[in-house]
Amino acid sequence: MAAHLDVEKIKADSRALRGTLAISLKDPTTAAVAEADTVITKFHGIYQQDDRDQRETRREARLEPAYSFMIRVRVPGGVITPEQWLALDRLADEVANGTIRLTTRQAVQFHGVAKEDLPRLIRTIDAVLMDSLAACGDVNRNVMCHVQPEAGPVHAAALDWARRLSDHLTPRTGAYREIWIEGEKVAGSEVEDEPIYGKTYLPRKFKSGIAIPPVNDIDVFSQDLGFIAIAEGDQLLGFNVTVGGGMGCSHGEPDTFPRLADVIGFIEPEDLLTIAEAVVTIQRDFGNRENRKRARFKYTLEDRGLEWLVSELESRSQVKLAAPRPYQFVGNGDLYGWQRMRDGRWQLTVFVENGRLNPNVRAALKTIANDYASDIRLTPNQNLVVAGVIESEREAVDRLLASAAMDQEHGPSAIRKNSMACVALPSCGLAMAEAERYLPDLVTRIEELADRHGIGKEPITVRMSGCPNGCSRPYLAEIGLVGRAPGRYNLYLGAAFDGTRLNRLDRDNVGEADILARIDQLFGQFASGRRQEERFGDFLVRSRVIAPVGRGREVNAG
């Protein structure tokens, strides 16, 4: 989003997210949309991007940048039917760049879509009951939910609440259907009220999700609003509510920082929507609309205090928070491999490096979706779950994946399986350094170091982002890397493996040699000094290599 744009005014003047998009889409003189419409498209799940690898040559040739669009398809809770999967797969070839990208929020992204192909893409996903509305923009985005159906009735109940939460917080505007599906009513079009968001929506993006202990795959403490399911056996009793998490910050601006959410109390399931609406309206009314760098809910909370928030929340919702119930997390990654589901069928969690599905893998998944799976699920760590496979067909699924170089049993190391990178270059306009294109090579070198120190089987989280926005949640990784400039990163260390402690800046603006030298040194100390089953991040904190971080401000203090 260009810094000079008055985003608040554009939102207010947009007639409930219409802007001049319908005109922009018909303009044949450019592959782009009007500048103000680049703000509006985000609310429709669409980012205008240009190929940064081509910027210079096109500028020299006096051509406009190589514009194309990224579309993010919303998948609340990450569950996709085979029919939906096949439609998405077709679109990857027909209108996108041949790949599908699974995001860190259980959504699907298409890259390289031309302006004229946007309506076709959106009409195709609409036909299989999917949309991209509110996948980006200053609203509640894709609602996350623990993804493994093996959790049985508790998972089913949590997923149902995730979907209801998503529906409840989706903007009411008819602009999306008008522009993309039915064609805009040019004159006299009714502008709807947005009862939850109002005319200017939220000051910034807002993220929410539901975790089911002991798995913290959604990184609930990174969400603006989170719910930790509390269950007794197969019965969902309610949720612990978490508020004020968030990853992004700006380099060199100590007033901005990643923040770990606070657990503020327990609610019964039927209070979830009331509480969520109250939190969102508090942020709508009190969030910072002057400075987008400090406009996330975490700063509203940080500036006004937890006591104020709880009092405002209870008064708006008329729900009294009970004391939080006990819970325990064991990790913030995915549970890989085959697991038996409650109904006797099987699910397989498949590692997908940085969420990128190339044509070979897509071909295998297409057959799996068509012939073997009851559904495909997107995990919060950019991986896939193939669910509902009958016992006798497991081998066929394994064979198909192996044929696409996705051998799960003998494939990626424990470190690679716990690695994650954002898209970054060449498509993300905010990227300062590589992430998705570089992390696989760096992980190979980290694996070599781990093997040398005899800890090659140790799961260690490694996450890389191309800029401090932190889309891959790098501040919750045991080893976090955040782009500063081409080939240069901030190295963060010492988060907890279960996502309950942030890491801390260890090396500022360093290149690969320094990163590897530091990791080599610390792997050596870890191998010789760890306690039994102690995690790498915990070891760094216990041995005082890294001072523990509280809720957030200290992350960048080094």
Q: Using DSSP bridges, classify how beta strands 479-485 and 488-493 pair: parallel, antiparallel or unpaired.
A: antiparallel
The residues with which 337 forms a beta bridge, in sequence order, are: 349
The residues with which 489 forms a beta bridge, in sequence order, are: 483, 510
Helix H or strand E segment including 452 = helix 439-452
Report how far residue 279's alpha carbon sits from residue 165's, in angstroms, rounded to the nearest whole number: 12
> How many residues can be counted in the chain?
558
Residue 124, CB half-sphere, CA atoms under 13 Å: how many? 20
SS3 428: coil
Nearer to ligand SF4, 32 or 420 (CB): 420
Query: Do residues 295 and 8 touch, judged by C-beta distance below 8 A?
Result: no
Q: Give least dist CB 233 to ligand SF4, A.
A: 40
Nearer to ligand SF4, 309 or 422 (CB): 422
Q: Give least dist CB 19 to ligand SF4, A.
A: 22
Nearer to ligand SF4, 301 or 428 (CB): 428
Q: Give least dist CB 217 to ligand SF4, A.
A: 19
Site for ligand SF4, rule CB under 6 A: 422-424, 428, 430-431, 435, 465-467, 469-471
Report how far residue 12's alpha carbon sits from residue 215's, in angstroms, rounded to the nearest whole number: 40
Report how far residue 313's alpha carbon sits from residue 271's, in angstroms, rounded to the nearest whole number: 12
Nearer to ligand SF4, 265 or 466 (CB): 466
Q: Give least dist CB 430 to ligand SF4, A.
A: 4
Nearer to ligand SF4, 113 or 165 (CB): 113
Cα separation values, 388 from 311, 322, 477, Å = 45, 37, 31
Q: Give least dist CB 386 to ligand SF4, A.
A: 27
Report how far residue 450's alpha carbon sits from residue 534's, in angstroms, rounded to the nearest whole number: 15
Report how far residue 41's alpha carbon sits from residue 29's, in angstroms, rounded to the nearest whole number: 19
Rounded to the nearest angstrom, the gap between the alpha carbon of residue 497 and the centroid of all alpha carbons in its chain is 18
Q: Give least dist CB 454 to ligand SF4, A.
A: 33
Q: List, in sequence order, every beta strand (DSSP E) within 23-180.
A: 46-50, 67-73, 79-80, 100-102, 108-113, 144-145
What residues have CB less than 8 Å from 227, skipping those under 6 apart?
161, 208, 209, 210, 211, 220, 239, 240, 241, 242, 272
Nearer to ligand SF4, 264 or 422 (CB): 422
Q: Using DSSP bridges, classify how beta strands 356-357 and 108-113 pair: parallel, antiparallel or unpaired.
A: unpaired
Which residues belong to the active site?
Answer: 72, 141, 205, 207, 422, 428, 467, 471
Tokens of 476: 């919750």
Tokens of 462: 């490694």
Nearer to ligand SF4, 122 or 422 (CB): 422
Q: Give least dist CB 471 to ligand SF4, A.
A: 3
Q: Give least dist CB 450 to ligand SF4, A.
A: 25
Nearer to ligand SF4, 32 or 439 (CB): 439
Sign of CA dihedral 535, 541, 545, 548: positive
SS3 244: coil
Query: Do residues 211 and 159 touch, judged by C-beta distance below 8 A?
Result: no
Tokens of 190: 């009714």
Exposed, middle or buried, 15 (CB in 10 Å: 0-12/13-18/19+)?
A: middle
Nearer to ligand SF4, 146 or 356 (CB): 356
Q: Give least dist CB 247 to ligand SF4, A.
A: 8
